[in-house]
Amino acid sequence: MTTSADSSASHTDDGSRRGDQARTPGALQAALYEVLRAQAADLASRWRTQSREILLLDAPSDDRAGVAPDIDVAQDLTNALLAAFAVSDEKSEAAAVATGLQFGVEAFARGASLHHTVKAVNVLITMVMRATELGTADMPSGGSVADGVWLAQRLQGHAGLLSLAVIRGYTQAQGDTLRDRFRHLRHDLRNPLGTIKSVLALMDDESVPPEARANANFRAMAKRNARSLEEMIADRLGDTTVPWPAMVDRDVSVQAVAESVHRGLRSEAERRGVVILIDATDLRGRFDVPGLELLLQAVLEAALQESRTGEQLRVRFNEIGEGRVAISLSHESGHAPIERRDAVDRLAALARNIGASATLADPVVISLPMHGGDRRSQIVSDRQVSGEKIGLSVAETTHNLRGAREDDHGQASVL
């Protein structure tokens, strides 16, 4: 008996579909879902605390102007992941997408960078995976290896969908805010420009008496509006006011960034028997937070690899003028923290890539530009617009979108 290739392929596909339908590890899936659902509140609570540190958010009691309330979708995000194990939940994927979009929008509105937003979601995914591992280990009789892989694939699918939705929500909010910002800017630039054009038209109109065309007020009006245009171009179209596409230039504590990196390296430091000490500082400002985090982590990892058991690494901070902050790393034992040539070259190249400089001697000094902490980034200040467009309740900010010379209707006061 012979079988054609087409019929064989068809038979294989049908068999695969039947196998997928048959592989519904109901007992394991249901038991695991119950175990995880009982831990959902605890998982959400622990992630809520960790995510605040990862996102570098200020404390809820912080009374500084422009600080939005805490992001609290922890339970919804946790439930969206646990829905991967629900026996029958047709809307689980739709709920994961909606929750991810909401978290992305709120993270942007709160001023977190995309880098840290994705990192926070990954931490939650890791926590759920760990809880899943422990949950299956404690079960008296589990399913087969194939059942475990099948459930892991379901969790991976939900996690990937959730991450994609978070990124989409964040970038959508950022795009909406940029469009609104430039719409306001176009409106404000047209006002003085229209006044200048009207003045020039009057001065060139031969039907107007010469003494009226030569009126000194016309010339003063044109100069005043030209100066207003120049100020708006400098203040609102300067290099420092343009946000990077994947992150937000943020006002954060330098110490908070260093402590965030330290937490990620704590287990490695304990394994090597090395203590990392971080000095206290009140330095804060606006700078490339993800770039600094990546560089500082790479520097500390390199220093840990060259440290001996019982040694201490100390991180210090200093403002060195000209809008720059310096972070130094030294060994309490006195030797250079990083001596390997390959590590020095790699870290120097990384520093150049993020616009910083690194002196890899004793001590190691990272220097990077920082703007004053009193100014709020324009793009973060516009956050309410994006939140309203997706129907979320985002706290209002006290930051005024308009320039100092604009009236209550967003028009430039130039006449």
- Locate the domains of the chain by residue range: 5-176, 250-372
Q: What is the pLDDT of residue 241?
A: 62
DSSP 386-409: HHHHTT---------SS-TTB-TT
Q: Report the alpha-carbon distance of residue 303 to residue 297 in Å, rounded.
A: 10
Q: What is the pLDDT of residue 385?
A: 35
Alpha carbon distances (Å) from 224 to 69, 165, 213, 218: 41, 48, 17, 10
Output helix, strand, coil percentages for the chain, rounded to the nearest 5. 60, 10, 30
Alpha carbon distances (Å) from 309 to 269, 270, 301, 305: 9, 9, 15, 11
Q: Please report the beta strands in 12-90, taking only residues with DSSP state E, as ranges in sequence order.
A: none
Q: Which residues of the chain have pLDDT under 70?
A: 1-25, 58-72, 88-92, 140-143, 238-250, 322, 371-415
Positive or negative, the Cα torsion across 65, 71, 133, 115?
Answer: negative
DSSP-assigned beta bridge partners for residue 360: 364
Residue 246's nearest CA partner among 290, 293, 185, 298 is 290
pLDDT digits (tens, 9 = 90+) for 94-150: 778 888 888 999 888 888 888 889 999 999 999 999 998 888 877 766 567 787 788
Question: Within 13 A of 215's CA, how many CA atoms are on the CB side?
Answer: 14
Q: What is the pLDDT of residue 313?
A: 94
Find out whether 303 and 336 touch, Cβ atoms under 8 Å: no
Q: Give CATH for domain 250-372.
A: 3.30.565.10
CA 285, 188, 185 angle in degrees (round to 5)?
50
Q: If you count DSSP H runs as helices and E runs as strands, how many of each does the chain have, helices first? A: 13, 8
Which DSSP state fits 215? -
H/E run at residue 212: helix 210-213
Q: What is the pLDDT of residue 291?
A: 79
Contacting residues for 71 by C-beta, under 8 A, at least 6 apart: 51, 55, 57, 103, 106, 107, 110
Residue with tokens 């926590």: 127
The structure's pTM equals 0.60
CA 219 to chain CA mean position, Å: 48
Q: What is the pLDDT of residue 249?
A: 57
Q: What is the pLDDT of residue 407?
A: 38
DSSP-assigned beta bridge partners for residue 250: 287
Residue 297's nearest CA partner among 329, 265, 270, 338 is 265
Q: What are the tokens at 124?
A: 């939650």
Q: Please report the beta strands in 322-408, taking only residues with DSSP state E, as ranges in sequence order.
A: 324-331, 357-360, 364-369, 371-372
Task: Give the CA dihedral 406, 412, 413, 414, nearest 10 degrees.
Answer: 140
Q: Report the alpha-carbon distance of residue 202 to residue 194 in Å, rounded.
A: 12
